[in-house]
Amino acid sequence: MSLRNRIVLVLAVLALPLTAPHAGERAASLYQLHERLLNQDGKPIDLDVYRGRKVLVTMFYGSCQATCPLIIDTLRAIERKADPLQRDELRVLLVSFDPERDTPGALREIAATRHIDTTRWTLAHADPSAVRRIAAALGIQYRKLPDGQFSHSTIISVLDAGGGITRQSADIGRADPELVSVINAK
């Protein structure tokens, strides 16, 4: 086999689908990661701020013009599809890739502009090493570009009450029915 074909093979590995835990397998808890964050009010919070509830968690950055507004819309679409009882209990955690620009003040402004209910949603600032670890744990790829934008993948995860990453989806622009069914499950 030629070297070129070998490279194609290796590149094919990259196209592996998202891994979600199989039935019966216990999902690894995101809360094994002990990270201190700042919320949009500048208040220190821990990554497990919503322990005890189901949580939608993903990452974004505030100055993004294209995909990031869509991320917020997608999270809202998922919320809307959830049963009313589950929806009241559901929480949303958005961690920024961009510690420099997404200060708590900037995050508070995004929350206001986007009419985000910060009693149920948290926009969080994390330092660069925490951003790396959280992204790694969630399987999110990101890279800072020379112009200050970020190139990143978007993966929305549903955490159970203990932080277990029970389901992940790369769908944006619509409410992935699989995420919705996990949220609605008792």
Partner 1 sequence: MAPLISLLALVGLAGVAGPPAQAADPGVLIAGGRFESVLPPAPDEKIAVVAPFRLDVALVSNTDFARFVRTRPEWRRNQVAGLFADEGYLRQWSSDTEPGTAIARQPVTYVSWFAASAYCESRGARLPRWYEWELAAAASATSRDARRDPAWRQQILDWYSTSARGALPVTGATPANYYGVRDLHGVVWEWVEDAGSMLVSDDSREQGDPNRNRFCGSGALSLEQKENYAMMMRIAMLSSMKAAYSSGSMGFRCATDAGLHR
Binding partner 1 (rule: CB under 8 A), the pick from 38, 57, 68, 82 is 68
Residue 184 found at the interface with partner 1 (CB under 8 A)? no
Residue 179 found at the interface with partner 1 (CB under 8 A)? no
Please choose, out of 36-44, 108-116, 140-148, 176-184, the segment that lies near partner 1 by the rule CB under 8 A.
140-148
Residue 185 found at the interface with partner 1 (CB under 8 A)? no
Element (DSSP H or E) covering residue 13: helix 3-13
Residue 153 found at the interface with partner 1 (CB under 8 A)? yes
Which pair of tokens denotes residue 110? 């995004």
Q: Are 54 and 90 in contact (CB under 8 A)?
A: yes
Q: Are 107 and 40 in contact (CB under 8 A)?
A: yes
Q: DSSP string spanning 36-76?
A: EEE-TTS-EEETTTTTTS-EEEEEE-TT-SSHHHHHHHHHH
- Least distance in Å: CB of 77 to partner 1? 14
158 or 172: whose CB is closer to partner 1?
A: 172
One character per residue 2-41, x = contact with partner 1 (rule: CB under 8 A): -xxxxx-xxx-xx-x--x--------xxx-xx--------
Site for partner 1 in 90-129 (CB under 8 A): 129
55-60 and 91-96: which strand pairing?
A: parallel
Q: Are 127 and 111 in contact (CB under 8 A)?
A: no
Burial class (CB in 10 A: 0-12, 13-18, 19+), 45: middle
Residue 80 found at the interface with partner 1 (CB under 8 A)? no
- Least distance in Å: CB of 174 to partner 1? 10
- Least distance in Å: CB of 41 to partner 1? 26
In the chain, beta strands by DSSP E? 36-38, 44-46, 55-60, 91-96, 121-124, 142-144, 150-152, 156-159, 165-169
Residue 140 found at the interface with partner 1 (CB under 8 A)? yes
Positions that interact with partner 1 (CB under 8 A)? 1, 3-7, 9-11, 13-14, 16, 19, 28-30, 32-33, 64, 66-68, 70, 129, 132-133, 135-137, 139-143, 145-147, 149-155, 170, 172-173
